[in-house]
Each structure stands twice: as C-alpha cells, then as structure tokens.
Amino acid sequence: MACRPSVRHGLLVFLLAMTACSAAPDGEPTPGGEKITRPKPKPTTTTDKKTAGSDTTQEPAPTGVAQGKNGLGFLAIEGDRLARLELWLDAGPGRDPQTKPGLALLAARSLRHAPTEGGSTVGDRLAAIGGSLKLQPEGRYMRFTASAPPEHVVELATVLLRLVARGAPGAGVVAEQRRRMLAEMTARRDQRLRQNELERLLGEAPNSARSQELLLGQIGSTDVRLFLGLHYRANHALLAIALPGRSAETVDRVVAVFDEWPKGRALAPLRSRVPVSPLLFAEAPEKGGSVTAIVRSPATDRTGDVAGEAAWQRLTRPGGRLAERLQRAGLADIVPRIEEVPTLRERVRTISIAVADDKLEAAVTAIQQSFADLATQDPDTNELREIQDTLMFRWDLRMDDPAQRLTTLARAALSGYPISIENSLAARIDKLEPDDLTDAARTSLVPAVLVRGPLRAKPLKASDLPALTGDVEPVREQATIQPLRLSDGERAELAATTFARTFEQLGSKAVLAKVGTFGWTARGTYIGAVGFTDKWKVRLPNGPATRARRILGTVIESKQDGKDGAIVETLGGQQRKLDGGEADLFALESILHPTVLLARHLAGTTKLSLVAFMNQHSRRLLVFECKLRDRKVQLFVDENTGLPRRIVYLEWRWRAPPRSVELELQDYRFAGALRQPHWIRRLLDGEYHGTLTLSYPK
C-alpha cells in the first residue's frame, strides 16, 4: 500500500503546471509516490537544454526516464486500485502544418473511432477487460490515457499499442470525424475566436478562425496517413505507468508489449517563441471592451521558480496588488477573470476584465501599474508569510491523487526536469525572502496587455494585433482558390461563356447597356450596433458617384465630380475634399455592386479577368479580378447559373492596417428589368459582421 506523500509532492504541481510546455485543461495535477524504473536499459540524462530564447522550442531529452531499444521512453510509479497507462506522443496540435490546422486531432480521433481487425472497435475491446480510454491534446503532445483492473494491464497495453501502431483509418472514418470536428468548431465559435486571437498574439496561429474551418475541410485520409506515419513512432513517445504494488516484473511485461513498435525518423524542431509587444490592440465590433494581461510560462530552465509563483499569488489573491490598483482607478466593482489557458504550443496565464469604452484607458493603467508594483515593492513580513502558507496548504490538498500524479511526472519528464526536484520544494518555499518575489516579478511576470474595443478607444502606444501571416487576400479563400490550368484561348472562351450566362440571368446585355444612372439603398448596422442607411447613385458606366449616408440622425453626402474625379464630403454645411486612402475607398465602394462592375466590364472601363476557380457547397465559382486605383477587386461567379455570388476586396482604414472584406450576394430578385441581390452578408477578415438589406428605386 502506498504511503501518504509529504507536502512537498503536492508543491511540485504548481511548478510543473506553470513551466510545462502545456498542461491539461481539466485541472492541476498532483505528483507523488515512488518511481519504479525498469532495470535495463539505464535511464538517460539531459545534456542539452534549450531555453525560450534559443533557436527552437524543442524541449530537452527526458530526464530520469528509461528507454527501450526502439527509443520509447517510460517511467512507472505506484498507483492505486486501477492500472493506468498514459502514452504521450509528439503529435499534438503544436505539430499541425500551417496549412492544415486540426490535422493532429483529426488523426487521433480517426484512430480512436476506426474499427479494428474483425470489425470490433477499441471500445469493444476495452469493455471486455473493464477498461476505458481518453484522448487529450496538450500543445505539441497528444495524450492517450487508458485504465483497467491491474490483472488486465498487459491486455490494456496491447489495445493501446494496436491503436497507435496500426495502419491509417479509412476515408469514411476520417470524413465522419472531420464532420464532427467542424460541427464542434461552429458550436464553440465565440470561444474559438478569443483563442485564435490569443494564439495570433503569441505568433502561433497564422490563419483566422474561419480559415481554419475551411482548411480543416480540405484535409483528407492521405494527409492523415502521412501524419500518422511520421509522428506515431516509438521514439516520439513516452509511456507513463501507474500500478498497484511495486512489481518491476509487471512493468517489464507492459513495456515489452511495445517493443515491436518501430522507430521513426527525427522530427523537425518547433519554431522559436515570438517576442510579444507589451501593449496590443484588437478592434472589437461590439459595444464595450476588455483588457487582458497575458503572462507566459517561464522558460524550461526555470523549474522550481517558487518565487515566481509566490509573486503571482501576491498579484492575484484577494486584496492583492491587482485589487488595490483597480480600487484606486475606480474599478473596484469589476471582478477580474484569472485563467490558465493552453494554446497550440504554450500554456499562459491571463487576467481579463470587461469594461465600458471610456474605462479602457483606466483599466490598462491599473493592470500595468499592478505588475510594476510587484517589480518595485518588496512584500512585508506578514504578506510573505500569508503567501507561503497559502502555497503550502493549497497544493497539499491536491497531492494524493495517483492519476494526477502520473500525469504530472510525465509532463516533468517530457520537459526535461529531474523528477527529484519535488524533494526540495517545501524547503525552498520556507526560505523565500521579500526581494526574491520582487526579482522574480521582473523576470517571470512580464505581461503583454491586449486591449479589445472600438477603434476610437485604441491606446496611442498600442501596436495592432499581429497580422494573419498564413492567410492571403482574400483571407477566407486561401484553402479553396485554385489556379485554372487552361490555355489563353480556353480561358477566354470560358470567361465569354460564363458572362453570356450572367447577362442572361440578370436581364440581358442590352438592358444593362441602356441603364443610365443606377441607384440602390443599403441598410445595416455599423460595428454591430449603430444603424445606418447608404443611398447610392452611380452614372454608368464610368461615374460619377454620389452617396448620402444617414447615421445617428445626421446625413453625410459624398459626391464625385464628373470632370476631375475629385470627391467632396458635405456635413452640416461644411465641405472637405477627400484625398489619399479615403478617396480611394469611396471610389472603390462605388463600384462594389455586381451591376456596376458588369456595366464597367461591358463598356471596357474595368476589365474583369478570369484568374482562378473555387469549389463551394458542391458548386464551382469562377474568380474574376479587376483593379481600381491599384486596388484589387475579386468577383466570384457561379459557373452553372452565371449569378455573381461574392465580391472581395481590401478595405482602407485610418490609423489601422487594411482588412479583407467579403460581400456575399444573396436573394436575387427582379427590380425593374434587372435581377439584383437583395441581401449581402458582410465578413471582415473571414468573420461574420452583419447583413445589409438592399432595395432599388421603382
């Protein structure tokens, strides 16, 4: 029977949770117990540790872990009444290729649900021995956790090996799991948007949340097979074993099951951490805003950063430095949300507060000053003792769980930490001095502050959230736009045939050519809250154009001169001439209607060139491009019906980088002699931002 571990075992938990590459989202684990290692081969040692500032974020080789002939690492501890096996594979979401987000999880889920030889499932085989299996992605790792009565531990190991070492699942299984993943992503869209934002800040997510869905939809069984063949190999895995009793013989039998698992070639190192700006801004369409402080886990060579954990407690505990600063700023009624969040490759700590627009600046200052206090003011003796007692008591409560202990020891090994560190933690907490917390705050608790809110609330010193490096114009189409492999003659013939069908659908080329002044009214909301109405009049085919915008009871008229093309804006009797990006944006928006674009093409003013195609919802869309004032516009036309279905362009913004805008054209009905769209779904950088209702003069 296992003896009760001392308090120092429990204290290992917070260090490993804080410093491991990524921890499980289902609570902090608790280590403890006595390690059992197989007599041969001898444990390896760490000789080359990497820090956060090195060329890669590849963790050091496992420390205190034995290795088999095929490179499989393993460790064992004494458990409780159940036998537990955890198999950690270097095949988690952190290993997803940039253009195939979700591949790692799709591969693991497909394996889990694929039928085995004879038609039975993994679940059937586990049920026969009273076992269970869970799948958990953790940063760069994928964790399979299996349990069963101890007399069936060898059978349990066999089921686990057959699961990860068998051939790739069939296309049908992959398609079903892909469908389920897409449905889950849609259901958790708001949560994914915030997670995507955090991963963008850390330089981990190159694609928007919507683009990730589209990219996942393109992953097939061949991609899964190649991923499994590369990553699901013995030398890329760690097996952690928890058994009742202290039977080294049983450990040998379990490990021997995996001896037939082949080795694989070395994996490429992960990319290094990206430096993060101290103050960043992300535009939010809704009312209000939020401020989030993000603190990265310490580098892997800071195991045992007791002072760093104590400094964090000093910041976030009730009545701590954060609470004091919020109270001074008049924000005492706001309750911060404090979390540990796993990302693709890290685990970060966040402090978030939601405030009104006019309180954003005060909230930013309060959070920044609370961290500054930690780095400049030593705690007094009473405060330090309270923090020490909290750490001791808090982790002692969680120390006696063999399952969590096993997970923590595995994380320690994967991160290159000597497991023996647990023996010194209690003494190190007792020896903390006030200046230890101050020094730790300067090195371990350096936050990046992310402000979300309307553009008018952007702090002057804030940098914009990093751009989506993996997405191309337009953001949403990266996964699906494909080049047309046609000769010039074939391309011209396809374009002519398509446009003939387009003009026929819209009301005929002759009718369109006779339109003099074309007008339409668009009604929608600005930033999701303020209603507006735009009334457009455009002289076809070449302009000029006029727009009357009514918003908040005010009318702003923008008018283009028919001779020199100058654009003058009138508001309350005052006039000003638009220039630069504002003028370019008005000229661009004046042609962003299919009738205007096609009239200009018909007259030869703006040539729409066929450049590519994409498949969407079982239909093929042809992609035509044109330019206005060096700004590209894409028109997507349904090849079968000829109807324009989408317009995509880059929108200029003041004091901010341009963003991709998609206008999805829907509800075509006749308005007079021409068929026109009556609904437009608007997407910004791939995310839905409202619907415009269009009407036309009778």
Exposed/middle/buried for residue 419 (C-beta within 10 Å: 0-12, 13-18, 19+): buried
Collect all residues with Cβ–Cβ distance below 8 Å to 339 and sequence separation of at least 6: 349, 350, 352
Enter the tokens of residue 5: 């571990």
pLDDT of residue 6: 35
List, in sequence order, the alpha helices (H) in 348-396. Answer: 360-376, 381-396
Specify whether the CB–CB gap between 243 and 250 falls below 8 A: yes
DSSP state of 219: -
Exposed/middle/buried for residue 655 (C-beta within 10 Å: 0-12, 13-18, 19+): exposed
Average pLDDT, consecutive stretches of 10 residues, N- to C-terminus, the chain (698 residues): 35 38 34 34 33 35 70 88 94 87 93 80 89 91 94 94 88 91 83 80 74 80 90 94 85 93 90 83 76 74 67 93 95 91 82 90 94 94 93 68 81 70 70 92 89 81 72 42 86 93 91 93 75 94 92 90 87 89 89 94 92 79 89 91 91 75 90 92 80 91
pLDDT of residue 50: 32
pLDDT of residue 34: 34
| Closest C-alpha among 458, 419, 4, 477 to residue 215 | 477
First to last CA, the chain: 87
Enter the tokens of residue 206: 């190159």
Collect all residues with Cβ–Cβ distance below 8 Å to 396 and sequence separation of at least 6: 7, 10, 11
Specify whether the CB–CB gap between 648 and 629 falls below 8 A: no
pTM of the prediction?
0.61
pLDDT of residue 84: 94
Enter the tokens of residue 99: 């253009």
Assess whether the previous peptide bond of 474 is cis (omega < 30° from 0).
yes
Enter the tokens of residue 622: 């042809």
pLDDT of residue 510: 92
**Torsion angles phi and psi, residue 29, rounded to 5:** -80, 165
pLDDT of residue 484: 85
Task: Give, in order, the Cα–Cα distances in Å from 482 to each of 545, 572, 628, 664, 665.
Answer: 34, 49, 23, 19, 21
pLDDT of residue 411: 82
88 alpha carbon, distance to own chain's centre:
22
Specify whether the CB–CB gap between 23 and 59 falls below 8 A: no
Strand-pair partners of 646: 636, 664
pLDDT of residue 24: 35
Detail the DSSP E strand segments found in 507-618.
517-526, 530-539, 545-551, 554-560, 567-571, 574-578, 609-616
Please give the domain boundaries of the chain with CATH numbers for all domains.
31-38+60-260 (3.30.830.10), 279-397+419-464 (3.30.830.10), 475-695 (2.50.20)
The CA distance from 492 to 497, in Å, is 9
pLDDT of residue 31: 31
